[in-house]
A and B are shown apart, each in its own frame.
Chain A
Amino acid sequence: MPFGNTHNQMKMKFTSEQEYPDLSKHNNHMAKILTPAMYERLRSKQTPSGFTLDDVIQTGVDNPGHPFIMTVGCVAGDEETYEVFKELLDPVIEDRHGGYKPTDKHKTDLNPDNLKGGDDLDPNYVLSSRVRTGRSIRGFSLPPHCSRGERRAVEKLSIEALASLTGDLKGKYYALKNMTDAEQQQLIDDHFLFDKPVSPLLLASGMARDWPDARGIWHNDNKTFLVWVNEEDHLRVISMQKGGNMKEVFHRFCTGLTKIESLFKDRGHAFMWNEHLGYVLTCPSNLGTGLRGGVHVKLPNMSKHPKFEEILKRLRLQKRGTGGVDTAAVGGVFDISNADRLGFSEVELVQMVVDGVKLLVEMEKKLEKGQSIDDMMPAQK
């Protein structure tokens, strides 16, 4: 439970067997990995800020399975969670991130010049382009665990840092609890507003406590660069625009992120990062780059093709509906993005998206003309 380890001493009065969760009907990464013996070894531990094993796994215990995807079933409460509970989290990470080993090193590359192409995706098909990631501020507990005071401190730091952005990155912060009706409506119309989570995956981990205290949205005046404060992570950073110029989107993304990072450093705060896990975020699924780069693209013919799923898999891409995760596609328009987060750099992932979407659009055009795409099948990346 959040708010420190106050409960842990109590639980140690009971045996591990008595406390072990019933995971017999569960299908998530945590339930696949956790064993009674592991539980016994880890249950007496806690991170320096008091996050316990039961805190890590509560969301996975409460949510046995998801209809569309294999969920992770555990969260971090602070940076040290990934160390103290590595016996559980390393195999979860390995399972989730395609065999990423505890000894592997993750490469960070936020140099947009290293991206080849990406400025010529056909806007007749690619309706919009977007890159998002998350960042956590070292020294503060993460959303499942933070106290109100910590969350407010994260907000205050973020507001200060973002207020120093200039040029095309200059913008404004809207605190969720203070915005006017007009501001709220505008943010909804711009598709910027995030709301209190409703997904039980998030609620069960304690992330929605004290809503909307210290939550807010910052965006630049051009509405192409957006930061969410204290939603599922300390910061979610999003660069987006209409059309297919992913290169421009990624350029702004990298520039903005690098600038923000140095503004935080100026104030004595680094982002949580290490050379094994890359950027450290709340959910193990977002480790590494935390990056999801994607497009909304019209693929009515491709999506009906029997090899669509196979092609996506080989390109290391995933499809979602245009409402984001857990939605279905509408009118043949899909959200296509990278499937990986960890073990590939930012440049590598966006390159996969750019190359992959280019190929998908070419295939779509072929299918429109009634031609076959059999000779265009990609190799497994």
Chain B
Amino acid sequence: MAAPFTRMMSGRNSAVLLASLGAGTLASGYLLTDSTAAAERKRLYPPSADFPDLRKHNNCMASALTPAIYARLRDKITPNNWTLDQCIQTGVDNPGHPFIKTVGMVAGDEESYEVFAELFDPVIKDRHNGYDPRSMKHPTDLDSSKITSGMFDERYVLSSRVRTGRSIRGLSLPPACTRSERREVERVAVTALSGLKGDLSGRYYSLGEMTEREQQQLIDDHFLFDKPVSPLLTCAFMARDWPDARGIWHNNEKNFLIWINEEDHTRIISMEKGGNMKRVFERFCRGLKQVEQLIHERGWEFMWNERLGYILTCPSNLGTGLRAGVHVRLPLLSKDPRFPKILDNLRLQKRGTGGVDTAATGNTFDISNNDRLGKSEVELVQLVIDGVNYLIECEKRLERGQDIKIPSPIAQFRK
């Protein structure tokens, strides 16, 4: 590992220690060091002068933040010098989203979730259906052999996909990272990925350096990501220095793909045409485990703890960070008035085939799990498989002129 990063290693080790200790140890955080000017500024502008105007806002942060909480947290910083104002800027700048209640805050590093727990915890609870990080534990399970009935009827399911994110412990997250940290994330990830073999062996395309032909190919494959345009992301400082240290890695078979330094350190995607979700998930788990092994060999690890599972930039992706979904044709069911309720009870969500914030075209929908935290990867993928199979059954029944039933709601969390 490069020498300048060894000093950071001790920071990383303490972060590891603190993270594993979990709740409460960093509750006090570090106070902003007082230079005279900074102290003067604090005196002139007490927290009440800086409290954001959230009266027109509708996001989880705005629902949870009070002047009292703000006053207690405003002057704290994480060990990487990240502040509360920086966490909430995106929620202040984006009062509401027409389709969904957005989260409205991001983490700048692993410690954000601890130092600013007084605000993150209620936001997590709100977003993740009552999951309480103070008292509950999140299960991680990447054993794909446990999946049953993972092969869909391909007359209905056009493609299957599982995605998640992973953060490299010891390096700040995309809202906060410096250029050299971001470049280090790229280096760590690309080095690890170059060690993948067999059906997982592949190559890296740096966003800033790819040729026009490579770019066109990636667009045609639907792999290319571009500089974020959503103000939810740009207001969270994630697009700084674009396209420095951003890139795409994919295997030669084009069914295992990694995005580097977009909204998270890494986004991992396993996908293929057709309905073999079991195989998609099997490759997903295998690839993830191998990448984890490869970074371990060099002394790195993923951000994870037993309260929050895998740590990602947006609180909405905590836990598994997993979205497993299919593109499925449901021409009759989608017109049935019971469709939303069925989805709801199955804990599934629909999106257009362009992904989040798009509408469905024709009768093809992107159907995926709602939940991320509180259920394991295996549980969520099984839930999607069972749910989608149920939807296909409904579609077939409607085709035959038979009636369908709304299934009973699935339980939120295991006891």
Contacts and interface: CB of A to CB of B under 8 A. Distances in A.
B38 A4 contact: yes
A14 B241 contact: no
Interface in A300-322: none
B85 interface: yes
Interface string B1-27: 000100110000000000000000000
Q: How large is the interface on B (under 10, 10 to 19, 20 to 34, 35 or more residues)?
A: 35 or more
A153 B41 CA distance: 13
B77 interface: yes
B111 to A, nearest CB: 12
Given A13-B7, A203-B234, A209-B89, A19 B178 contact: yes
Q: How large is the interface on A (under 10, 10 to 19, 20 to 34, 35 or more residues)?
A: 35 or more
A7 B50 contact: no
Contacts of B38: 4, 50
Interface string B166-210: 000000100010111101000000000000000000000000100
A41 interface: no
B365 interface: no
A10 B234 contact: no
Given A6-B32, A6-B82, A7-B178, A210 B7 contact: no
A150 interface: yes
A62 B52 contact: no
A13 B80 CA distance: 11
B93 to A, nearest CB: 6
Given A10-B80, A209-B89, A18 B179 contact: yes
A370 interface: no
A372 interface: no
A9 interface: yes
A149 B80 contact: no
B276 interface: no
Most interface-central of A6, A21, A208, A209 (chain B CB within 10 A): A6
Contacts of A220: none
A203 B50 CA distance: 21
A334 to B, nearest CB: 32
Given A14-B180, A18-B183, A6 B49 contact: no
A3 B83 CA distance: 9
B81 A7 contact: yes
Given A62-B242, A213-B53, A149 B45 contact: yes
Contact of B86 (A3, A49, A204): A3
Interface string A193-233: 00000000001100011110100000000000000000000
Contacts of B41: 49, 147
B37 A49 contact: yes
A210 B92 contact: yes
A62 B237 CA distance: 11
A177 interface: yes
Given A1-B237, A10-B81, A61-B240, A149 B50 contact: yes
B239 interface: yes
A365 interface: no
A49 B85 CA distance: 16
Nearest to A9: B81
Contact of B93 (A4, A11, A211): A211
A210 B77 contact: no
Contact of B4 (A8, A15, A149, A210): A15
Contacts of A170: none
Interface string B45-73: 10001111100100000000000000000
B247 to A, nearest CB: 13
B37 A50 contact: yes
A51 to B, nearest CB: 11
Contacts of B237: 1
A200 to B, nearest CB: 9
A375 interface: no
Contact of B77 (A6, A49, A150): A6
A32 interface: no
A337 B176 CA distance: 41
B203 to A, nearest CB: 21
Contacts of A61: 240-241
A79 B66 CA distance: 33
Interface string A33-62: 000000000000000111000100010011
Given A21-B244, A48-B37, A213-B53, A13 B8 contact: yes
Contacts of B37: 48-50
Contacts of A49: 37, 41
A124 to B, nearest CB: 45
A73 to B, nearest CB: 13
Given A11-B178, A48-B37, A213-B52, A58 B240 contact: yes
Contacts of A149: 44-45, 49-50
Most interface-central of B86, B92, B180 (chain A CB within 10 A): B180
Contacts of B240: 58, 61-62, 204
A58 B85 CA distance: 19
Nearest to B7: A13
B83 A13 contact: no
Given A7-B178, A209-B89, A177 B208 contact: no
A4 to B, nearest CB: 7
Interface in B202-256: 208, 234-235, 237, 239-242, 244
Contact of B52 (A9, A11, A58, A210): A210
Given A148-B50, A152-B49, A3 B179 contact: no
A209 B81 contact: no
A3 B4 contact: no
A6 B241 contact: no
A147 B45 contact: yes
A150 B45 contact: yes
A190 interface: no
Contact of B81 (A6, A18, A62): A6
A25 B207 CA distance: 13
Closest 7 pairs between A and B when the two form their complex, measured CB to CB: A149-B49, A18-B180, A149-B45, A48-B37, A14-B180, A6-B81, A149-B50
10 contacts: A1-B237, A3-B86, A6-B82, A14-B178, A22-B208, A148-B51, A149-B44, A153-B49, A177-B56, A210-B53
Interface of A: 1, 3-4, 6-11, 13-15, 18-22, 25, 48-50, 54, 58, 61-62, 147-150, 152-153, 177, 203-204, 208-211, 213
Given A61-B240, A203-B234, 6 more contacts: A3-B83, A4-B32, A7-B178, A11-B180, A149-B50, A209-B92
